[in-house]
Amino acid sequence: MKLATIRTSHGTRAVRVEEEGYVDLGAADVGELLALDDWSDRASADGDRVQGDLAPVVPRPGKIICVGLNYAPHIREMGRELPEHPTLFAKFTEALIGPHDPVQLPAVSEALDWEAELALVIGRPVRHADEEAASAAIAGFTVCNDVTIRDWQYRTKQWLQGKTFEATTPLGPFLVTPDELPGGTRPELAIRTIVGGEKMQEADTSELVFDPVALVTYASTILTLQPGDVIITGTPGGVGHARKPPRYLRDGDVLVTEIDGLGRCENPVVRA
């Protein structure tokens, strides 16, 4: 099943994505849908056809937990050792944009960089999860680009300020349920970033050091994960900052982020 949040003239709606179009699921967005105990039944039910353009698949997650340094080649390109524990940080909802919305290049930076990432979305409350509970708590997966303002990320040891600039982070286009994916809740999917037609990152989500089930287990040790919460699982090698010379996103670039089976985000970069 593919679910999305669309913008209509009456506000946002949660929809099921079918070849013929969008089916209204009776909730304002995918986050609100996932908060219903019977969301899976509702998501497969009939409904009215609706039209609109794609919003972030979960527009206002209660939490966006981000994972740094989770693909071995990217860890090496950033000059670090393989980690014993996941590196976690956060993003706020103001950072999110839809799969075709402009990425805002802030006036205060020339170092806007890409980070293609597999995102998982939580479908039921979960705390102290074992592997089975963690797997069952994953509603599905989507595409994210953890677009990063590198010069602000490295102003201090804490990365937050470079990670949550307004309107920088595409999330979408759809939430795809694990039953549709090779590997299920540990999906094995090719992931890539393309800028100006040039492939900048390419890897496979099976190369994650901490896979989605492990990340839900780990994060749920810290706090309760709630329906609609998002965990973005880290980026592979090939970020612009690690290139020689560095290559950052410029006004007028088009940032394409895609994961086979999950779809693609295609976002123009515009100076804010």
Least distance (Å) between residue 50 CB and Zn ion: 33
Contact (CB, 8 A) for 99 and 170 = yes
Q: Is 115 in the site for Zn ion (CB under 5 A)?
A: yes
What is the CA angle 175-180-182, rounded to 5? 115
- Alpha carbon distances (Å) from 165 to 32, 98, 153, 232: 25, 15, 10, 16
**Structure tokens belonging to residue 20:** 């013929």
Tell the smallest beta-carbon distance from residue 7 to Zn ion (Å): 26
Instruction: Identify which of residues 217 and 235 has a Cβ nearer to Zn ion in the complex.
Output: 235
Cα distance between residue 96 and residue 55, in whole Å = 9
Q: Cβ closer to Zn ion: 164 or 235?
A: 235
Alpha carbon 30 to chain centroid distance? 14
268 Cβ contact partners less than 8 Å away, ≥ 6 residues apart: 102, 103, 252, 253, 254, 255
Residue nearest to Zn ion (CB): 146
Q: How far is the CB of 83 from Zn ion (least distance, A)?
A: 14
Q: Least CB distance from residue 124 to Zn ion, whole Å? A: 25
113 makes contact with Zn ion (CB under 5 A): no
- Looking at residue 130, the DSSP 8-state letter turns out to be -
Distance, CA of 236 to CA of 205 (rounded, Å): 9
* Choice between 16 and 74, CB closer to Zn ion: 74
Considering the complex, state which of residue 69 and residue 176 has its C-beta at the smaller distance from Zn ion.
69
Torsion of CA 91, 93, 95, 101, to 10 degrees: 140
Query: Between residues 12 and 235, which has the closer beta carbon with respect to Zn ion?
Result: 235
For Zn ion, what does the binding mask look like between residues 210 and 249, x meaning CB under 5 A? Answer: -------------------------x--------------
Q: Please tell me whether residue 146 binds Zn ion under the rule CB under 5 A.
A: yes
Part in contact with Zn ion (CB under 5 A); list of ranges 1-9, 24-32, 112-120, 219-227? 112-120
Contact stretch for Zn ion (CB under 5 A) within 11-19, 45-53, 55-63, 144-152: 144-152
Residue 86: CB minimum distance to Zn ion, A: 12
Rank residues 101 and 115 by Cβ distance to Zn ion and give the closer one: 115
Give residues with Cβ within 8 angstroms of 233, minimum separation 6: 67, 70, 117, 118, 119, 120, 205, 208, 210, 211, 212, 215
- Copy the structure tokens of residue 145: 């680009």
Distance CA 127, CA 20 (A): 39
Nearer to Zn ion, 136 or 209 (CB): 209
Least spacing, CB of residue 90 vs Zn ion, in Å: 11
The count of chain residues that interact with Zn ion, using the rule CB under 5 A, is: 3
Point out which residues bind Zn ion (CB under 5 A).
115, 146, 235
